[in-house]
Structure 1
Protein backbone atom coordinates (compact mmCIF):
# COMPACT_ATOMS: atom_id res chain seq x y z
CA UNK A 1 0.00 0.00 0.00
CA UNK A 2 1.11 3.57 -0.64
CA UNK A 3 2.79 5.77 1.97
CA UNK A 4 0.70 8.51 3.65
CA UNK A 5 0.01 11.33 1.23
CA UNK A 6 1.33 14.78 2.01
CA UNK A 7 -1.40 16.82 0.33
CA UNK A 8 -4.07 18.79 2.18
CA UNK A 9 -7.13 17.41 0.37
CA UNK A 10 -10.28 18.09 2.34
CA UNK A 11 -8.82 20.79 4.59
CA UNK A 12 -10.54 24.15 4.22
CA UNK A 13 -7.96 26.95 4.54
CA UNK A 14 -5.02 24.57 5.08
CA UNK A 15 -2.51 27.38 5.52
CA UNK A 16 -4.61 28.82 8.35
CA UNK A 17 -4.78 25.46 10.10
CA UNK A 18 -1.11 24.62 9.65
CA UNK A 19 -0.05 27.98 11.07
CA UNK A 20 -1.81 27.08 14.30
CA UNK A 21 -1.22 23.36 14.80
CA UNK A 22 1.50 20.74 14.35
CA UNK A 23 0.02 18.24 11.93
CA UNK A 24 1.74 14.99 10.97
CA UNK A 25 0.85 11.70 9.27
CA UNK A 26 2.47 8.34 9.97
CA UNK A 27 2.08 4.89 8.47
CA UNK A 28 0.73 2.12 10.73
CA UNK A 29 2.46 -1.21 11.30
CA UNK A 30 2.64 -3.37 8.19
CA UNK A 31 -0.09 -5.86 9.26
CA UNK A 32 -2.52 -2.93 9.54
CA UNK A 33 -1.81 -1.29 6.19
CA UNK A 34 -4.54 -3.05 4.24
CA UNK A 35 -7.34 -1.43 6.24
CA UNK A 36 -5.71 1.60 7.92
CA UNK A 37 -4.68 4.46 5.65
CA UNK A 38 -2.60 6.41 8.15
CA UNK A 39 -2.33 7.83 11.63
CA UNK A 40 -2.71 11.59 11.97
CA UNK A 41 -1.34 13.54 14.91
CA UNK A 42 -2.20 17.12 15.85
CA UNK A 43 -0.88 19.24 18.72
CA UNK A 44 -1.91 22.81 19.46
CA UNK A 45 -1.31 25.57 21.99
CA UNK A 46 -3.47 28.52 20.99
CA UNK A 47 -3.75 32.03 22.44
CA UNK A 48 -7.27 32.29 21.04
CA UNK A 49 -9.88 29.81 19.76
CA UNK A 50 -9.72 28.57 16.18
CA UNK A 51 -12.35 26.64 14.21
CA UNK A 52 -10.99 24.13 11.71
CA UNK A 53 -13.17 22.96 8.84
CA UNK A 54 -12.82 19.68 6.94
CA UNK A 55 -14.60 18.34 3.88
CA UNK A 56 -14.61 14.73 5.09
CA UNK A 57 -13.27 11.74 3.22
CA UNK A 58 -15.44 8.60 3.06
CA UNK A 59 -13.52 7.23 6.04
CA UNK A 60 -14.25 6.21 9.60
CA UNK A 61 -11.87 7.81 12.12
CA UNK A 62 -10.93 6.60 15.58
CA UNK A 63 -9.40 9.37 17.69
CA UNK A 64 -7.70 9.54 21.06
CA UNK A 65 -7.89 13.09 22.30
CA UNK A 66 -6.84 15.39 25.07
CA UNK A 67 -8.10 18.95 25.33
CA UNK A 68 -7.36 20.89 28.49
CA UNK A 69 -10.81 22.50 28.30
CA UNK A 70 -12.57 19.11 28.07
CA UNK A 71 -11.03 17.26 31.03
CA UNK A 72 -9.14 13.98 30.81
CA UNK A 73 -8.17 12.08 27.66
CA UNK A 74 -10.96 10.28 25.80
CA UNK A 75 -11.51 8.15 22.71
CA UNK A 76 -14.09 8.85 20.02
CA UNK A 77 -15.34 7.04 16.93
CA UNK A 78 -16.51 9.22 14.05
CA UNK A 79 -18.38 7.78 11.09
CA UNK A 80 -18.32 9.40 7.68
CA UNK A 81 -19.53 12.98 8.10
CA UNK A 82 -21.92 13.93 5.33
CA UNK A 83 -21.47 17.70 5.59
CA UNK A 84 -18.67 20.06 6.48
CA UNK A 85 -16.98 18.91 9.70
CA UNK A 86 -16.06 21.71 12.11
CA UNK A 87 -13.87 21.36 15.20
CA UNK A 88 -13.22 24.26 17.57
CA UNK A 89 -9.71 24.21 19.03
CA UNK A 90 -9.01 26.10 22.25
CA UNK A 91 -6.13 26.31 24.70
CA UNK A 92 -3.83 23.30 24.53
CA UNK A 93 -4.56 19.84 23.25
CA UNK A 94 -3.63 16.96 21.01
CA UNK A 95 -5.27 14.28 18.88
CA UNK A 96 -3.90 10.92 17.84
CA UNK A 97 -6.17 9.72 15.05
CA UNK A 98 -6.60 6.53 13.06
CA UNK A 99 -7.95 7.06 9.55
CA UNK A 100 -9.33 3.77 8.26
CA UNK A 101 -9.23 3.28 4.53
CA UNK A 102 -12.63 3.80 2.93
CA UNK A 103 -14.07 0.31 3.08
CA UNK A 104 -11.56 -0.83 5.71
CA UNK A 105 -13.39 -0.30 8.99
CA UNK A 106 -15.91 -3.14 8.86
CA UNK A 107 -13.39 -5.96 9.53
CA UNK A 108 -12.75 -4.36 12.92
CA UNK A 109 -16.46 -3.94 13.71
CA UNK A 110 -18.30 -6.62 11.71
CA UNK A 111 -21.58 -6.57 13.62
CA UNK A 112 -23.06 -3.53 11.85
CA UNK A 113 -22.89 -2.05 8.35
CA UNK A 114 -20.62 0.98 8.18
CA UNK A 115 -23.65 3.09 7.23
CA UNK A 116 -24.77 2.54 10.85
CA UNK A 117 -22.00 4.93 11.94
CA UNK A 118 -22.43 7.50 9.15
CA UNK A 119 -22.99 11.01 10.49
CA UNK A 120 -22.35 9.88 14.07
CA UNK A 121 -19.68 10.61 16.67
CA UNK A 122 -19.76 8.47 19.79
CA UNK A 123 -17.54 7.24 22.61
CA UNK A 124 -15.21 4.68 21.08
CA UNK A 125 -15.76 2.29 23.98
CA UNK A 126 -19.28 1.66 22.65
CA UNK A 127 -17.62 -0.08 19.70
CA UNK A 128 -14.26 -1.11 21.14
CA UNK A 129 -14.56 -1.79 24.90
CA UNK A 130 -10.80 -1.39 25.40
CA UNK A 131 -10.90 2.21 24.11
CA UNK A 132 -11.15 3.63 27.63
CA UNK A 133 -9.93 6.89 29.07
CA UNK A 134 -6.88 5.08 30.42
CA UNK A 135 -6.11 3.77 26.95
CA UNK A 136 -6.49 7.27 25.53
CA UNK A 137 -4.10 8.58 28.17
CA UNK A 138 -1.52 5.94 27.23
CA UNK A 139 -1.73 6.94 23.57
CA UNK A 140 -1.77 10.75 23.84
CA UNK A 141 0.64 11.19 26.76
CA UNK A 142 4.03 10.47 25.09
CA UNK A 143 5.86 13.56 23.89
CA UNK A 144 7.35 11.89 20.82
CA UNK A 145 5.57 10.69 17.69
CA UNK A 146 7.28 7.30 17.68
CA UNK A 147 5.84 6.38 21.07
CA UNK A 148 2.35 7.54 20.10
CA UNK A 149 2.47 5.56 16.85
CA UNK A 150 3.66 2.48 18.73
CA UNK A 151 0.76 2.85 21.17
CA UNK A 152 -1.73 3.14 18.29
CA UNK A 153 -0.23 0.05 16.65
CA UNK A 154 -0.48 -1.90 19.90
CA UNK A 155 -4.13 -0.94 20.35
CA UNK A 156 -5.20 -1.87 16.83
CA UNK A 157 -3.16 -5.07 16.65
CA UNK A 158 -4.90 -6.27 19.80
CA UNK A 159 -8.36 -5.85 18.26
CA UNK A 160 -9.92 -9.00 16.80
CA UNK A 161 -10.39 -8.77 13.06
CA UNK A 162 -10.18 -11.07 10.06
CA UNK A 163 -9.55 -10.64 6.37
CA UNK A 164 -12.74 -9.88 4.49
CA UNK A 165 -12.85 -10.19 0.69
CA UNK A 166 -15.79 -7.80 0.50
CA UNK A 167 -13.83 -5.21 2.47
CA UNK A 168 -10.90 -5.72 0.12
CA UNK A 169 -13.19 -5.11 -2.86
CA UNK A 170 -14.65 -1.97 -1.29
CA UNK A 171 -11.17 -0.61 -0.48
CA UNK A 172 -10.03 -1.17 -4.05
CA UNK A 173 -13.15 0.36 -5.59
CA UNK A 174 -12.96 3.55 -3.54
CA UNK A 175 -9.24 3.84 -4.28
CA UNK A 176 -10.11 3.59 -7.97
CA UNK A 177 -12.76 6.30 -7.67
CA UNK A 178 -10.31 8.57 -5.85
CA UNK A 179 -7.62 8.17 -8.50
CA UNK A 180 -9.64 8.12 -11.74
CA UNK A 181 -11.65 11.20 -12.72
CA UNK A 182 -13.03 9.40 -15.77
CA UNK A 183 -15.30 7.47 -13.39
CA UNK A 184 -18.38 9.66 -13.49
CA UNK A 185 -21.34 7.30 -13.35
CA UNK A 186 -22.20 4.56 -10.90
CA UNK A 187 -23.65 2.41 -13.67
CA UNK A 188 -20.38 2.44 -15.58
CA UNK A 189 -18.36 1.50 -12.50
CA UNK A 190 -20.75 -1.34 -11.69
CA UNK A 191 -20.57 -2.64 -15.24
CA UNK A 192 -16.76 -2.55 -15.23
CA UNK A 193 -16.71 -4.58 -12.00
CA UNK A 194 -19.31 -7.10 -13.14
CA UNK A 195 -21.80 -5.94 -10.52
CA UNK A 196 -25.35 -4.65 -10.67
CA UNK A 197 -25.89 -1.05 -9.65
CA UNK A 198 -27.91 -2.27 -6.66
CA UNK A 199 -25.19 -4.73 -5.71
CA UNK A 200 -22.57 -1.96 -5.80
CA UNK A 201 -24.78 0.30 -3.69
CA UNK A 202 -25.29 -2.48 -1.11
CA UNK A 203 -21.54 -3.07 -0.94
CA UNK A 204 -20.87 0.61 -0.30
CA UNK A 205 -23.59 0.86 2.34
CA UNK A 206 -22.19 -2.15 4.18
CA UNK A 207 -18.48 -1.35 3.90
CA UNK A 208 -18.02 2.36 3.11
CA UNK A 209 -21.00 3.98 4.77
CA UNK A 210 -21.94 6.23 1.85
CA UNK A 211 -22.99 5.60 -1.74
CA UNK A 212 -20.60 5.29 -4.70
CA UNK A 213 -22.15 8.45 -6.17
CA UNK A 214 -21.34 10.32 -2.94
CA UNK A 215 -17.71 9.21 -3.23
CA UNK A 216 -17.46 10.31 -6.86
CA UNK A 217 -18.84 13.75 -6.03
CA UNK A 218 -16.82 14.15 -2.84
CA UNK A 219 -13.47 13.47 -4.52
CA UNK A 220 -14.36 16.01 -7.21
CA UNK A 221 -14.84 18.63 -4.48
CA UNK A 222 -11.57 17.63 -2.83
CA UNK A 223 -9.79 18.23 -6.14
CA UNK A 224 -11.52 21.57 -6.64
CA UNK A 225 -10.70 22.67 -3.10
CA UNK A 226 -7.05 21.62 -3.48
CA UNK A 227 -6.68 23.54 -6.73
CA UNK A 228 -8.71 26.62 -5.78
CA UNK A 229 -6.87 29.86 -6.45
CA UNK A 230 -7.35 33.26 -8.01
CA UNK A 231 -5.79 32.09 -11.29
CA UNK A 232 -7.99 29.00 -11.75
CA UNK A 233 -10.06 28.72 -14.91
CA UNK A 234 -13.16 27.24 -13.29
CA UNK A 235 -14.79 26.31 -16.58
CA UNK A 236 -11.75 24.25 -17.58
CA UNK A 237 -11.50 22.72 -14.11
CA UNK A 238 -15.18 21.76 -14.20
CA UNK A 239 -14.58 19.95 -17.48
CA UNK A 240 -11.50 18.16 -16.12
CA UNK A 241 -13.42 16.99 -13.06
CA UNK A 242 -16.29 15.62 -15.12
CA UNK A 243 -18.94 18.25 -14.47
CA UNK A 244 -21.47 19.04 -17.17
CA UNK A 245 -20.52 22.72 -16.88
CA UNK A 246 -19.04 25.33 -14.56
CA UNK A 247 -22.41 26.04 -12.94
CA UNK A 248 -22.66 22.49 -11.60
CA UNK A 249 -19.19 22.74 -10.05
CA UNK A 250 -19.99 26.11 -8.50
CA UNK A 251 -23.24 24.72 -7.06
CA UNK A 252 -21.58 21.65 -5.50
CA UNK A 253 -18.61 23.64 -4.19
CA UNK A 254 -20.81 26.32 -2.63
CA UNK A 255 -23.21 23.86 -1.00
CA UNK A 256 -20.30 21.88 0.47
CA UNK A 257 -17.89 24.63 1.55
CA UNK A 258 -20.42 27.35 2.29
CA UNK A 259 -18.90 29.95 -0.06
CA UNK A 260 -18.49 30.13 -3.83
CA UNK A 261 -15.22 29.04 -5.45
CA UNK A 262 -14.26 32.63 -6.31
CA UNK A 263 -15.02 33.85 -2.77
CA UNK A 264 -12.96 31.01 -1.32
CA UNK A 265 -10.06 31.75 -3.68
CA UNK A 266 -10.09 35.46 -2.73
CA UNK A 267 -10.08 34.65 0.97
CA UNK A 268 -7.28 32.11 0.51
CA UNK A 269 -5.13 34.62 -1.38
CA UNK A 270 -5.46 37.06 1.50
Structure 2
Protein backbone atom coordinates (compact mmCIF):
# COMPACT_ATOMS: atom_id res chain seq x y z
CA UNK A 1 0.00 0.00 0.00
CA UNK A 2 1.36 3.42 -0.97
CA UNK A 3 2.93 5.34 1.93
CA UNK A 4 2.93 8.75 0.25
CA UNK A 5 0.84 10.33 -2.49
CA UNK A 6 1.98 10.28 -6.10
CA UNK A 7 4.42 13.05 -6.95
CA UNK A 8 3.98 13.08 -10.73
CA UNK A 9 2.03 15.68 -12.71
CA UNK A 10 0.50 13.17 -15.10
CA UNK A 11 -2.67 14.50 -16.70
CA UNK A 12 -2.07 18.14 -15.71
CA UNK A 13 -1.38 20.34 -18.72
CA UNK A 14 1.37 22.90 -18.02
CA UNK A 15 1.87 21.81 -14.40
CA UNK A 16 4.50 24.50 -13.83
CA UNK A 17 1.97 27.24 -14.44
CA UNK A 18 -0.56 25.54 -12.16
CA UNK A 19 1.95 25.57 -9.30
CA UNK A 20 2.74 29.24 -9.94
CA UNK A 21 -0.91 30.31 -9.92
CA UNK A 22 -2.40 28.21 -7.09
CA UNK A 23 -1.42 26.15 -4.05
CA UNK A 24 -1.83 22.53 -5.09
CA UNK A 25 -0.98 19.52 -2.90
CA UNK A 26 -1.93 15.88 -2.31
CA UNK A 27 -2.47 13.90 0.89
CA UNK A 28 -3.21 10.26 1.58
CA UNK A 29 -6.49 9.30 3.27
CA UNK A 30 -6.68 7.36 6.50
CA UNK A 31 -5.19 3.89 6.01
CA UNK A 32 -8.51 2.02 5.95
CA UNK A 33 -9.58 3.96 2.83
CA UNK A 34 -6.39 3.57 0.79
CA UNK A 35 -7.55 0.38 -0.92
CA UNK A 36 -10.13 2.53 -2.72
CA UNK A 37 -8.82 6.11 -2.61
CA UNK A 38 -5.74 7.25 -4.53
CA UNK A 39 -5.33 10.54 -2.67
CA UNK A 40 -6.96 13.76 -1.57
CA UNK A 41 -6.07 16.83 -3.61
CA UNK A 42 -6.35 20.33 -2.19
CA UNK A 43 -6.21 23.67 -3.99
CA UNK A 44 -6.29 27.24 -2.67
CA UNK A 45 -6.15 30.36 -4.82
CA UNK A 46 -6.14 34.14 -4.59
CA UNK A 47 -5.97 35.41 -8.16
CA UNK A 48 -5.78 38.92 -9.56
CA UNK A 49 -7.00 37.67 -12.96
CA UNK A 50 -8.87 34.53 -14.10
CA UNK A 51 -6.80 31.38 -14.57
CA UNK A 52 -7.82 28.45 -16.77
CA UNK A 53 -6.48 24.99 -15.97
CA UNK A 54 -6.76 22.06 -18.37
CA UNK A 55 -6.53 18.41 -17.34
CA UNK A 56 -6.41 15.17 -19.33
CA UNK A 57 -8.57 13.13 -16.92
CA UNK A 58 -7.49 9.87 -15.33
CA UNK A 59 -9.84 6.86 -15.58
CA UNK A 60 -11.01 7.67 -12.07
CA UNK A 61 -14.04 9.09 -10.29
CA UNK A 62 -13.53 12.22 -8.17
CA UNK A 63 -15.66 13.71 -5.41
CA UNK A 64 -15.08 17.46 -5.25
CA UNK A 65 -16.00 20.12 -2.70
CA UNK A 66 -15.47 23.74 -3.67
CA UNK A 67 -15.99 27.09 -2.00
CA UNK A 68 -15.56 30.36 -3.92
CA UNK A 69 -14.80 33.36 -1.73
CA UNK A 70 -17.34 33.62 1.08
CA UNK A 71 -19.99 31.72 -0.83
CA UNK A 72 -21.55 28.38 0.15
CA UNK A 73 -19.70 25.11 -0.27
CA UNK A 74 -20.82 22.84 -3.10
CA UNK A 75 -20.11 19.15 -3.61
CA UNK A 76 -20.31 16.92 -6.68
CA UNK A 77 -19.38 13.52 -8.04
CA UNK A 78 -17.32 13.72 -11.23
CA UNK A 79 -17.37 10.53 -13.26
CA UNK A 80 -14.56 9.48 -15.59
CA UNK A 81 -14.20 12.21 -18.19
CA UNK A 82 -13.22 11.13 -21.68
CA UNK A 83 -12.68 14.68 -22.98
CA UNK A 84 -10.29 17.43 -21.94
CA UNK A 85 -11.43 19.03 -18.65
CA UNK A 86 -11.24 22.80 -18.38
CA UNK A 87 -11.95 24.99 -15.36
CA UNK A 88 -11.50 28.73 -14.90
CA UNK A 89 -10.70 29.97 -11.39
CA UNK A 90 -10.99 33.58 -10.30
CA UNK A 91 -10.92 35.62 -7.10
CA UNK A 92 -10.35 33.47 -4.04
CA UNK A 93 -11.43 29.94 -3.27
CA UNK A 94 -10.68 26.45 -1.97
CA UNK A 95 -11.16 22.92 -3.20
CA UNK A 96 -11.00 19.62 -1.34
CA UNK A 97 -11.12 16.70 -3.77
CA UNK A 98 -11.00 12.92 -3.56
CA UNK A 99 -9.46 10.98 -6.44
CA UNK A 100 -10.55 7.38 -6.18
CA UNK A 101 -8.46 4.58 -7.60
CA UNK A 102 -9.86 3.33 -10.92
CA UNK A 103 -12.60 0.94 -9.84
CA UNK A 104 -12.46 2.18 -6.25
CA UNK A 105 -15.64 4.27 -6.21
CA UNK A 106 -17.98 1.30 -6.67
CA UNK A 107 -18.19 0.37 -2.93
CA UNK A 108 -19.34 3.92 -2.19
CA UNK A 109 -21.74 4.24 -5.15
CA UNK A 110 -23.01 0.63 -5.08
CA UNK A 111 -24.16 0.67 -8.68
CA UNK A 112 -22.46 0.51 -12.10
CA UNK A 113 -19.98 3.38 -12.31
CA UNK A 114 -20.36 3.78 -16.09
CA UNK A 115 -23.61 5.63 -15.35
CA UNK A 116 -21.39 8.51 -14.19
CA UNK A 117 -19.04 8.55 -17.18
CA UNK A 118 -18.73 12.04 -18.71
CA UNK A 119 -21.11 13.38 -16.04
CA UNK A 120 -20.73 15.67 -13.03
CA UNK A 121 -23.64 15.35 -10.61
CA UNK A 122 -24.38 17.04 -7.25
CA UNK A 123 -23.81 14.88 -4.22
CA UNK A 124 -27.13 13.08 -3.64
CA UNK A 125 -29.06 13.69 -0.46
CA UNK A 126 -29.14 10.98 2.19
CA UNK A 127 -26.39 8.41 2.17
CA UNK A 128 -23.96 10.57 0.14
CA UNK A 129 -24.73 13.87 1.83
CA UNK A 130 -21.83 15.76 3.33
CA UNK A 131 -21.73 15.96 7.11
CA UNK A 132 -22.52 19.17 8.96
CA UNK A 133 -18.80 19.81 9.15
CA UNK A 134 -17.53 22.06 6.34
CA UNK A 135 -15.12 20.10 4.15
CA UNK A 136 -13.28 23.11 2.68
CA UNK A 137 -11.93 24.17 6.07
CA UNK A 138 -8.94 26.45 6.48
CA UNK A 139 -6.18 23.90 7.05
CA UNK A 140 -5.05 20.73 5.30
CA UNK A 141 -5.46 18.57 8.39
CA UNK A 142 -9.03 19.76 8.89
CA UNK A 143 -9.93 19.08 5.27
CA UNK A 144 -8.41 15.61 5.31
CA UNK A 145 -10.16 14.71 8.58
CA UNK A 146 -13.49 15.89 7.15
CA UNK A 147 -12.99 13.76 4.03
CA UNK A 148 -11.97 10.74 6.14
CA UNK A 149 -15.13 11.16 8.23
CA UNK A 150 -17.32 11.58 5.16
CA UNK A 151 -16.01 8.56 3.26
CA UNK A 152 -15.89 6.28 6.29
CA UNK A 153 -19.50 7.23 6.99
CA UNK A 154 -20.52 5.81 3.60
CA UNK A 155 -19.54 2.38 4.99
CA UNK A 156 -17.75 0.87 1.99
CA UNK A 157 -17.23 -2.87 2.17
CA UNK A 158 -14.52 -5.01 0.55
CA UNK A 159 -15.59 -6.59 -2.73
CA UNK A 160 -13.48 -9.16 -4.66
CA UNK A 161 -14.67 -7.69 -7.98
CA UNK A 162 -13.55 -4.22 -6.91
CA UNK A 163 -10.20 -5.58 -5.78
CA UNK A 164 -9.71 -7.23 -9.17
CA UNK A 165 -10.69 -4.10 -11.11
CA UNK A 166 -8.37 -1.91 -9.01
CA UNK A 167 -5.50 -4.37 -9.37
CA UNK A 168 -5.85 -4.69 -13.15
CA UNK A 169 -6.21 -0.94 -13.71
CA UNK A 170 -3.09 -0.35 -11.60
CA UNK A 171 -1.23 -2.91 -13.71
CA UNK A 172 -2.11 -0.96 -16.84
CA UNK A 173 -1.01 2.32 -15.27
CA UNK A 174 2.37 1.08 -14.09
CA UNK A 175 3.37 -1.27 -16.93
CA UNK A 176 4.25 0.60 -20.12
CA UNK A 177 4.41 -2.68 -22.03
CA UNK A 178 0.60 -3.02 -21.80
CA UNK A 179 -0.55 -1.91 -25.25
CA UNK A 180 -3.31 -4.34 -26.32
CA UNK A 181 -6.40 -5.63 -24.52
CA UNK A 182 -6.08 -9.21 -25.75
CA UNK A 183 -2.43 -9.47 -24.70
CA UNK A 184 -3.22 -7.96 -21.30
CA UNK A 185 -6.16 -10.31 -20.77
CA UNK A 186 -4.04 -13.33 -21.64
CA UNK A 187 -1.24 -12.17 -19.35
CA UNK A 188 -3.66 -12.01 -16.41
CA UNK A 189 -5.67 -15.09 -17.43
CA UNK A 190 -8.92 -13.14 -17.79
CA UNK A 191 -11.27 -13.65 -20.77
CA UNK A 192 -11.46 -10.48 -22.87
CA UNK A 193 -15.24 -10.19 -22.62
CA UNK A 194 -15.14 -10.57 -18.83
CA UNK A 195 -12.39 -7.94 -18.64
CA UNK A 196 -14.50 -5.55 -20.69
CA UNK A 197 -17.57 -6.07 -18.50
CA UNK A 198 -15.51 -5.67 -15.32
CA UNK A 199 -13.99 -2.36 -16.45
CA UNK A 200 -17.27 -0.98 -17.79
CA UNK A 201 -19.14 -1.60 -14.54
CA UNK A 202 -16.42 -0.88 -11.98
CA UNK A 203 -14.07 1.61 -13.69
CA UNK A 204 -16.62 3.30 -15.93
CA UNK A 205 -14.81 2.84 -19.25
CA UNK A 206 -13.42 -0.13 -21.18
CA UNK A 207 -9.88 -1.51 -20.85
CA UNK A 208 -8.87 -0.33 -24.34
CA UNK A 209 -9.72 3.25 -23.37
CA UNK A 210 -7.81 2.93 -20.08
CA UNK A 211 -4.71 1.65 -21.88
CA UNK A 212 -4.80 4.43 -24.45
CA UNK A 213 -5.46 7.13 -21.84
CA UNK A 214 -2.53 6.13 -19.64
CA UNK A 215 -0.20 5.96 -22.65
CA UNK A 216 -1.40 9.39 -23.81
CA UNK A 217 -0.75 10.82 -20.36
CA UNK A 218 2.80 9.54 -20.65
CA UNK A 219 3.12 11.40 -23.96
CA UNK A 220 1.80 14.61 -22.37
CA UNK A 221 4.22 14.28 -19.47
CA UNK A 222 7.18 13.70 -21.77
CA UNK A 223 6.22 16.64 -23.98
CA UNK A 224 6.44 18.92 -20.93
CA UNK A 225 10.10 18.00 -20.47
CA UNK A 226 12.84 17.49 -23.04
CA UNK A 227 11.04 17.10 -26.40
CA UNK A 228 11.10 13.40 -27.27
CA UNK A 229 11.60 11.71 -30.60
CA UNK A 230 7.92 11.56 -31.49
CA UNK A 231 8.22 8.69 -33.95
CA UNK A 232 10.08 6.56 -31.40
CA UNK A 233 7.64 7.51 -28.64
CA UNK A 234 4.68 6.61 -30.85
CA UNK A 235 6.11 3.15 -31.42
CA UNK A 236 6.95 2.78 -27.73
CA UNK A 237 3.36 3.60 -26.76
CA UNK A 238 1.85 1.13 -29.22
CA UNK A 239 0.82 3.45 -32.04
CA UNK A 240 1.10 2.29 -35.62
CA UNK A 241 2.79 5.55 -36.62
CA UNK A 242 3.60 9.07 -35.42
CA UNK A 243 0.56 10.57 -37.18
CA UNK A 244 -1.78 8.41 -35.12
CA UNK A 245 -0.20 9.61 -31.87
CA UNK A 246 -0.40 13.23 -33.03
CA UNK A 247 -4.12 12.83 -33.84
CA UNK A 248 -4.92 11.27 -30.46
CA UNK A 249 -2.78 13.79 -28.55
CA UNK A 250 -4.41 16.73 -30.34
CA UNK A 251 -7.92 15.34 -29.81
CA UNK A 252 -7.35 14.92 -26.07
CA UNK A 253 -5.12 17.91 -25.23
CA UNK A 254 -6.60 20.40 -27.69
CA UNK A 255 -3.21 21.17 -29.27
CA UNK A 256 -0.62 19.18 -31.18
CA UNK A 257 2.31 17.65 -29.28
CA UNK A 258 4.77 20.11 -30.80
CA UNK A 259 2.56 23.12 -30.01
CA UNK A 260 2.05 21.94 -26.46
CA UNK A 261 5.80 21.41 -25.95
CA UNK A 262 6.48 24.95 -27.24
CA UNK A 263 3.82 26.48 -25.01
CA UNK A 264 5.19 24.81 -21.88
CA UNK A 265 8.76 25.85 -22.61
TM bracket, shorter-chain basis? over 0.9
Q: Distance in 1 between the 2:44 and 2:61 partners?
A: 21
Query: How many pairs does the alignment contain?
Result: 263
Distance 2:126 2:164 in 1: 24
Q: Name the structure 2 match of 1:77.
A: 77
- Give 1:145-224 correspondences, 5 Å limit: 145-224=140-219
Look up the SS of the partner of 1:11 in the other structure: coil
Provide the residue aligned with 2:114 in structure 1: 115
Q: CA deviation at 1:16?
A: 1.4
Deviation at 1:123, TM superposition (A): 0.7
Closer/same/farther in 2, CA of residues 128 and 113 from structure 1, 3 Å limit: same
Q: Distance in 1 between matches of 2:130 and 2:236?
A: 43
Partner of 1:96: 96
Counterpart of 1:67 in structure 2 is 68
Does the 8 A contact of 2:128 with 2:154 survive in 1? no
Contact 2:65 2:96 in 1 (8 A): yes
Task: Report the CA distance shift for 1:197/1:152 in structure 2 as closer, same or farther (over 3 A).
Answer: same
Deviating more after overlay: 43-52 vs 189-198 = 189-198
Task: Give the structure 2 partner of residue 27 of structure 1.
Answer: 28
Give the 3-state SS of the residue equivalent to 1:204 in structure 2. helix
Q: Aligned pair 1:251/2:247, yes or no?
A: yes
SS of residue matched to 2:170? helix
Structure 2 unaligned residues grouped into runs of 5+: none
The alpha-carbon distance between structure 1 residues 34 and 129, as it changes in their structure 2 partners (threshold 3 A), is closer
Task: Specify the SS of the correspondent of 2:217.
Answer: helix
Contact 1:125 1:131 (C-alpha < 8 Å) held by counterparts: no
Tell me, in whole angstroms, the C-alpha distance in 2 between the residues paired with 1:127 and 1:260. 45
Structure 1 unmatched ranges of 5 or more: none
Q: Can you list the C-alpha shifts for 1:139-176, whole angstroms capped at 9, x where unaligned? A: 112x2211211111111111122100000000000000
Structure 1 residue 37 and structure 2 residue 38: aligned? yes
Alignment partner of 1:124 is 2:120: no
Match of 1:55 in 2: 56
